[in-house]
Amino acid sequence: EKRTRAEEIRTLLADEEARWGLVQEELQEVREDYADERRSTIVGPEADMEYTEEDYIVDEDVHVIVTRDGWVKRQGTYSDLDSIRTRDGDEVGWVLAGSTRATVGFFTNYGACYTTRIAEISSTTGYGDPVQKLFSFDDGEHVVGVISFDDRALPDPFPEEPDEQGELFDPDSEPDPDAPDHPYVVAISKGGRATRFTVDGYVEPSISTGRKYMRLDDGDEVVRVHLARGNENVCLASHDGRALVFPVHQVSVYKGPAKGVRAIRLEDDDRVLDFALSTRARQGLTVATNNGREEIVRTTKFDVTNRGAKGTLVIKRGYFGEVFPEPVEVMLGDSS
């Protein structure tokens, strides 16, 4: 019997097909003795479920209202600007439409942009909250521009001609020669510097200390920030009574925070008071002299020249003591 078994083993060792046949027979026996119906199912790896902050926000179109003194609130509807409640001595500076899922950027005089989701702003028909409740402002820091980053509230870009005044570029911050056609943010400082940049780097919510959008010299600060298509004229006034109008596309576009280019050539003791963007003949910046006389810096009264010029001296005795900026009102679907 042992010899017979040994012969069978030698035969199996010499025949691979016979070995696999034996394995198959034994597996069949195991299956008949122990097999039962499968209770689990075999599936591939589960798809990762991704969630964003926006998924938890009810999508609702509202208005962000910001006053000159920096009070902010969220409101569903309003009939007109005069119907919006403000504190005594304050007035509405910006009314910007947008979805609660979109973001809004607050640009300050210290060259920083603070971005939050519109849903994070208090919803009320009262006075709202100081913007400092949302962010960490430094002493003396205040809002000089507000932009809704809802795509429907951004203007369509305007094809532009390249800047021909390369000698006025900031040597420490080269302009972006490949800048895409985007709506741009335009900022001008009291020291007469101007920069332009796309909104792309400021759309996402920021930390409480914000993001820099302009580099400023000691003692300088931004006077105003506006959103531009690229076809507007800059209407600018200085404290010493000078007015200057030039195309906004002459302000170079930068990839990041920059000192920018010279907007106006100022005397040593002069400073920029404010500026407005104009696309219509009678649209401009309203200023008042120290004697109370009002003047509108606009294209019907002042020639459109080049940035970097001294501008026109409007008053020989006295100065511009006050500006009256128009409130910024942006509705969804505005393209200009």
CATH superfamily of this structure's domain 53-330: DNA gyrase/topoisomerase IV, subunit A, C-terminal (2.120.10.90)
pLDDT digits (tens, 9 = 90+) for 102-132: 999 999 999 999 999 999 999 999 999 999 9
pLDDT digits (tens, 9 = 90+) for 226-278: 999 999 999 999 999 999 999 999 999 999 999 999 999 999 999 999 999 99
pLDDT at 85: 96
**What SS3 class is residue 148?**
strand
- Tracing tokens 């439409």 back to the chain, one arrives at 97
146 burial type by CB count under 10 A (0-12 exposed, 13-18 middle, 19+ buried): buried
pLDDT at 88: 96
Percent of the chain surpassing pLDDT 70:
88
**Can you list the residues of the chain whose pLDDT is less than 50?**
163-171
pLDDT at 162: 53
Domains of the chain, by residue range, sit at 2-34, 53-330
**The dihedral of CA 299, 305, 307, 308: what is its sign?**
negative
pTM value surpassing 0.85:
no
Are 202 and 114 in contact by the 8 Å Cβ rule? The answer is: no
User: Which residues lie below 8 Å from residue 232, measured CB to CB, with a gap of 6+?
Assistant: 247, 248, 277, 278, 279
